[in-house]
């Protein structure tokens, strides 16, 4: 068990943080199964108008570690358990963390753009980013591992198709956050698989992109809401 934890310490560490936050929120709310939307906003969920018009951009980070209920966190952490361990075999610690965080943050920004009055929580954008990073890795190395790449990309297409169908069928699923995280993950996974020297340029690019979006969104909201 200890060897397993050491081998996948980042994945298990992120799962552990999410579970601890969930239990703290559950204790504060008095409900361990489902959380009230208003309460989630009070403890750090994304609420688009507050984030964009009142500069509470820190919610992009806190919302990544909040979940709406037991089913929500269970599904997300099981997905991370399955996907994250695979990614941890192909990416070093700093690359994995950067891919996870930037995918989650930019997935949240995609949600802000698509849902000007929305409330959002969950690690889905970040998890989809890790899934996308695996796709980026296989694409970058397709000449070396052709058989594995074809098999993975087939599974990748099926999973994305299923998630799109579910996302457009169930109102509570935020497809925009999923797709935003996924695109960041694919781009980052491909870039970092090509060369570890591209880590700093990748991070700078993501930060500049986030600043550009943060600068654009207030005027977009003003046009839509006033």
Q: In Å, how far from its chain's centre is CA 171?
A: 18
C-alpha 128/C-alpha 133 separation (Å) is 8
Q: Is 124 a catalytic residue?
A: yes
Are the CB atoms for 183 and 126 separated by under 8 Å?
Answer: no
**Measured CA angle at 47 (ends 44, 49), to 5 deg:** 130
What are the structure tokens assigned to 42, written together? 């009070």
CA–CA separation, 216 vs 52, rounded Å? 10
Helices (H), 141-198: 146-169, 175-194
Kind and range of the H or E element at 46?
Answer: strand 46-47
Angle (CA) 14-92-203 rounded to 5° is 85
Whole-angstrom CA distances from 219 to 39, 107, 110, 172 are 28, 20, 16, 27
Q: Which residue has the tokens 């919610």?
A: 59
State the catalytic residue, choosing from 48, 72, 103, 178: 178
Q: Which of 48, 111, 124, 193 is catalytic?
A: 124
Please give the structure tokens belonging to residue 153.
Answer: 């990309």
Q: Which residues are marked as active site?
A: 124, 178
């Amino acid at each position: 068990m200890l060897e397993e934890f050491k081998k996948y310490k980042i994945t298990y560490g992120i799962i552990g943080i999410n579970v601890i936050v969930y239990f703290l929120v559950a204790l504060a709310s008095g409900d361990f199964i489902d959380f009230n939307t208003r309460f989630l906003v009070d403890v750090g969920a994304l609420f688009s108008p507050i984030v964009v018009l009142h500069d509470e951009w820190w919610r992009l980070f806190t919302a990544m570690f909040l979940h709406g209920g037991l089913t929500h966190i269970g599904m997300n952490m099981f997905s991370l358990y399955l996907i994250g361990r695979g990614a941890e075999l192909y990416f070093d610690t700093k690359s994995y963390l950067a891919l996870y965080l930037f995918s989650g943050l930019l997935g949240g920004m995609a949600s802000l753009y698509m849902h000007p009055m929305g409330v959002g929580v969950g690690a889905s954008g970040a998890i989809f980013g890790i899934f996308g990073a695996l796709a980026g890795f296989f694409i970058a190395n397709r000449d070396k591992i052709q058989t594995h790449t074809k098999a993975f990309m087939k599974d990748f297409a099926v999973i994305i198709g299923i998630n799109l169908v579910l996302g457009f069928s169930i109102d509570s699923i935020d497809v925009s956050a999923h797709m935003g995280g996924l695109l960041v993950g694919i781009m980052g996974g491909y870039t970092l698989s090509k060369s570890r020297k591209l880590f700093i340029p990748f991070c700078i690019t993501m930060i500049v992109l986030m600043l550009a979006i943060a600068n654009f969104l207030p005027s977009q909201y003003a046009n839509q809401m006033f």
